[in-house]
């Protein structure tokens, strides 16, 4: 997930729209004749994706052009769509029975599209030539619904503990290990935060999860804390939160998180702009994308001098959320084999290397990550190893938006409003289970 990722509109709306799809239509594929007058099938595939930054757009332009040149029997026509319009336009095209052959979808929204029958299963394609063993098992699980793989991953991102090195040294606090397999515990984080916290001088101990924003941000930054305490959000099949969200370990994590703000007061509900690089925040949980941001915008706040990075804290176990935008093939495509060729070309080892060499993203594949020296050295190795060894899917469920909203509200009620954990959890479970019960069945 990149920081720009937002929560898609309700899965019920998605599923409702998709349930109205007829069986006519089927991908925007076509055949062309050649100049000699003989019939030569040339497949044209439409590919929709959310428009990214200039570097991402250039990387996709290069991959599409390279694929078209090396596959004279296939022509891919790519349509970058503005981010704000992408979800609505994609849902509408699917509901009208005229979707693109290939589409980019954010990982948490995969199950809603798969449940509605909008995606082509890719399991057999992957087994044939997708080099599955080159992708972490936890990553593949992120794109699997009801035992079928529906999307092919290209990149990953991750989060870690950023800490102010000079503040730690001034207080004589031992620096956290840089070893991705040796995180400090949340109890150690709290102990350090209490020593570093000085609200009178405008300095807070830690922002544990990038504050309070939309539910999508909650899922990426706050679910790992629940997992790290041994808790959970939903059942593995994504049908209920009963027995998972109400686990004692989940409630312990919620109480610990709330206490950071309300009991020990080492966290604040509001921070000034850019508190970490401005030395107003001793620790923060932040993403791999912030390394470039700090280097560009705060050149005097230097890695290794002013701040350093450590793996995400743990309590009973290590855990980090995985999953990003990935490529899917429409169930209505008239040419799924050709569509898979393109998807496999882009997300395979060579395509991934091309893309990540330009964007500096973390590749989803082991073999590609090994080819970039900087990804195997501090600090980026922390993000890579965490993702590969301790990554976990956010709940794979067709009601992800409703589930995420309910959990987001639960955390806000417990932390901001001081609501009893048991009551807040019970309400969240009721909302989540009702949303699944109301899900239109295929």
Same domain, 209 and 256: yes
Q: Is residue 3 part of a domain?
A: no
What integer pLDDT is reported at residue 41 of this predicted model?
Answer: 81
Return the axis-axis angle of helices 349-359 and 54-70, rounded to nearest 10°. Answer: 150
Q: Could you tell me the CA-to-CA distances from 42 to 33, 78, 331 in Å, in that order?
A: 7, 16, 20
- Single pTM value for the model: 0.90
CATH number at residue 268: 3.40.190.10
How would you write the chain as a 3-class SS string? CCCCCCCCCCHHHHHHHHHCCCCCCCCCCECCCCCCCCCCCCEEEEEEEECCCHHHHHHHHHHHHHHHHHCCCEEEEEEEECHHHHHHHHHHHHHCCCCCCEEEEEHHHHHHHHHCCCECCCHHHHHHHCCHHHCCHHHHHHCEECCEECCEECEECCEEEEEEHHHHHHCCCCCCCCCCCCCCEHHHHHHHHHHHCEHHHCEEEEECCCCCCCHHHHHHHCHHHHHHCCCCCCCCCCCCCCCCCCCHHHHHHHHHHHHHHHCCCCCCCCCCCCCCCCCCEEEEEEECCHHHHHHHHCCCCCECCCEEEECCCECCCCCEEECCEEEEEECCCCCHHHHHHHHHHHHCHHHHHHHHHHHCCEECCHHHHHCCHHHHCCCHHHHHHHHHHHEEECCCCCCHHHHHHHHHHHHHHHHCCCCCHHHHHHHHHHHHHHHHHCCCCC
Q: Tell me how far apart the alpha carbons of residues 232 and 383 are, in angstroms, rounded to a whole number.
A: 22
Would you say residue 319 has pLDDT above 90?
yes
Band of the pLDDT at 23, cuts 50, 70, 90?
very low
Same domain, 183 and 307: yes
Q: Is residue 5 part of a domain?
A: no
Would you say residue 352 has pLDDT above 60?
yes
What integer pLDDT is reported at residue 219 of this predicted model?
Answer: 87
**Rounded mean pLDDT, 21-37:** 41
Same domain, 191 and 285: yes
Residue 318 Rama label (left phi>0; alpha psi -120 to 50; beta) = beta
What integer pLDDT is reported at residue 442 of this predicted model?
Answer: 62
Would you say residue 217 has pLDDT above 80?
no
Would you say residue 3 has pLDDT above 50?
no
Tokens of 312: 């995400």
Point out the least confidently predicted range of 1-15, 29-43, 57-71, 234-248. Answer: 1-15
Would you say residue 321 has pLDDT above 70?
yes
What integer pLDDT is reported at residue 9 of this predicted model?
Answer: 36
What integer pLDDT is reported at residue 211 of this predicted model?
Answer: 87
Tokens of 176: 């956290």
What integer pLDDT is reported at residue 174 of this predicted model?
Answer: 97
Q: Is residue 6 part of a domain?
A: no
Would you say residue 8 has pLDDT above 80?
no
Closest-CA residue to 153 (of 324, 31, 318, 13): 324
Same domain, 129 and 265: no
Q: Is residue 331 part of a domain?
A: yes
Span 274-290, pLDDT tens digits: 999 999 999 999 999 99
Same domain, 153 and 174: no
What integer pLDDT is reported at residue 393 of this predicted model?
Answer: 96
Would you say residue 20 has pLDDT above 70?
no
Same domain, 102 and 206: no
Same domain, 117 and 102: yes
Q: Which residue segment(s) compose the domain that 135 sits in?
A: 11-157+324-393
80 versus 32: the higher-pLDDT residue is 80
Q: Is residue 280 part of a domain?
A: yes
Band of the pLDDT at 214, cuts 50, 70, 90?
confident
Same domain, 257 and 240: yes
Same domain, 179 and 306: yes
Q: Is residue 306 part of a domain?
A: yes
**Rounded mean pLDDT, 381-388:** 97
What's the total number of domains in the chain? 2
Band of the pLDDT at 440, cuts 50, 70, 90?
confident
Q: What percent of the chain has pLDDT over 70?
A: 90
Would you say residue 25 has pLDDT above 60?
no
Span 100-119, pLDDT tens digits: 999 999 999 999 999 999 99
Residue where a domain stops, chosen among 361, 377, 393: 393
Residues 6+ apart with CB under 8 A from 197: 203, 204, 205, 264, 265, 266, 282
Mean residue pLDDT across the chain: 91
Same domain, 71 and 196: no
What integer pLDDT is reported at residue 36 of this predicted model?
Answer: 37
What integer pLDDT is reported at residue 143 of this predicted model?
Answer: 98
Span 155-213, pLDDT tens digits: 998 999 999 999 999 999 999 999 999 999 999 999 999 999 999 999 999 999 998 87
Same domain, 125 and 210: no
What integer pLDDT is reported at residue 215 of this predicted model?
Answer: 64
**Rounded mean pLDDT, 253-269:** 97
Q: Is residue 364 part of a domain?
A: yes
Tokens of 28: 């925007």
Assess contact for 243 and 237: CB atoms under 8 A.
Answer: no
Span 65-93, pLDDT tens digits: 999 999 999 999 999 999 999 999 999 99
Same domain, 85 and 195: no
What integer pLDDT is reported at residue 40 of this predicted model?
Answer: 57
Would you say residue 7 has pLDDT above 90?
no
Q: Is residue 337 part of a domain?
A: yes
């Amino acid at each position: 997930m990149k920081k720009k990722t937002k929560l898609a509109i309700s899965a019920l709306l998605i599923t409702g729209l998709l349930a109205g799809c007829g069986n006519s239509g089927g991908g925007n594929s076509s055949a062309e004749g050649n100049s000699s007058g003989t019939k030569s099938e040339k497949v044209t595939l439409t590919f929709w994706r959310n428009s990214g930054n200039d570097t991402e757009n250039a990387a996709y332009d290069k991959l599409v052009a390279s694929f078209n040149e090396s596959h004279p029997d296939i022509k891919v026509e790519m349509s970058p769509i503005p981010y704000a319009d992408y979800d609505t336009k994609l849902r509408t095209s699917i509901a009208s029975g005229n979707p693109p052959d290939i589409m980019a979808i954010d990982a948490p929204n995969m199950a809603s599209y798969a449940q509605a029958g909008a995606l082509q299963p890719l399991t057999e394609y992957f087994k044939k030539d997708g080099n599955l063993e080159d992708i972490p098992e936890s990553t593949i699980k992120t794109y699997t619904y009801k035992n079928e793989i529906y999307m092919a991953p290209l990149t990953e991102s991750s989060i870690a503990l950023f800490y102010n090195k000079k503040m730690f040294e001034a207080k004589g606090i031992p620096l956290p290990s840089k070893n991705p397999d040796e995180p400090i515990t949340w109890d150690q984080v709290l102990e350090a935060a209490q020593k570093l916290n000085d609200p009178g001088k405008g300095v807070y101990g830690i922002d544990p999860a990038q504050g309070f924003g939309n539910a999508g941000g909650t899922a990426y930054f706050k679910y790992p804390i629940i997992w790290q305490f041994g808790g959970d959000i939903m059942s593995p099949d994504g049908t209920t939160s009963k027995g998972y969200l109400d686990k004692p370990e989940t409630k312990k994590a919620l109480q610990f998180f709330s206490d950071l703000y309300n009991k020990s007061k080492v966290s604040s509900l509001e921070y000034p702009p850019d508190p970490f690089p401005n030395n107003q925040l001793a620790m923060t949980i932040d993403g791999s994308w912030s390394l470039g941001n700090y280097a560009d915008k705060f050149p005097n706040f230097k890695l290794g001098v002013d701040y350093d990075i450590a793996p995400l804290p743990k309590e009973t176990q290590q855990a980090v959320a995985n999953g990003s935008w990935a490529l899917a093939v429409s169930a209505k495509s008239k040419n799924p084999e050709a569509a898979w060729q393109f998807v496999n070309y882009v997300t395979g080892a060579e395509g991934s290397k091309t893309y990540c060499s330009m964007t500096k993203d973390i590749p989803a594949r082991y073999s590609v990550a090994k080819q970039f020296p900087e990804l195997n050295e501090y600090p980026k190795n922390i993000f890579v190893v965490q993702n590969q060894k301790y990554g976990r899917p956010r709940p794979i469920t067709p009601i992800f938006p409703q589930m995420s909203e309910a959990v987001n509200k639960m955390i806000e009620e417990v932390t901001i409003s001081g609501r009893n954990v048991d009551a807040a959890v019970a309400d969240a479970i009721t909302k989540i289970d009702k949303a699944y019960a109301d899900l239109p069945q295929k």
